[in-house]
Amino acid sequence: MNGHFDAGLEVISLTPRESDVLRLIAHGCTYGQAADRLGVSLHTVATHIKNAYRKLGVRSGAAAVMRAVELKLFTQV
C-alpha cells in the first residue's frame, strides 16, 4: 500500500516498500530482521529507511513512525 498524504500543496508519498520497512520497524524489527522478512539486503532496508526519513522530515525511527501515524500513511501499526 502506498502511504500518501496531501499537506496543502505538499504531497508526502512513501513507496510500498518504504511503508513496509517502516511498519516492520514500528513493530520492533531491527533492520536485519526487516531485511530477512522482506527478502532484501540490509543495504536495501537502510536505503528505504533513509528515503522515508527524508520524505517525512525526521531523523529517527521513532519520529518516522510517529509522523507516519499522524499523517495516516498506513492504516495499521
Q: Look at the chain and report how many structural domains it folds into.
A: 1
Arithmetic mean of pLDDT over the chain: 86
Confidence of residue 68 (pLDDT cuts 50, 70, 90): confident
Q: For residue 59, tell me if it sits in a domain.
A: yes
Closest CA relative to residue 55, chosen from 30, 24, 19, 8: 19
> Which residue in 32, 29, 15, 9 sits closest to 68, CA to CA?
15
Q: Locate 18 and state its grid cell.
A: 518504504
Residue 43 lies in a domain: yes
**What CATH number is associated with residue 41?**
1.10.10.10
- 75 inside domain: no
Give 36-61 pLDDT, tens digit per residue: 999 999 999 999 999 999 999 999 98
Tell me, yes or no, whether 77 lies in a domain. no
Q: pLDDT band for 73, please (50, 70, 90 cuts).
A: confident
Reported as a pLDDT band with limits 50, 70 and 90, residue 72 is confident
Q: Is residue 8 very low, low, confident or very high in pLDDT (cuts 50, 70, 90)?
A: low
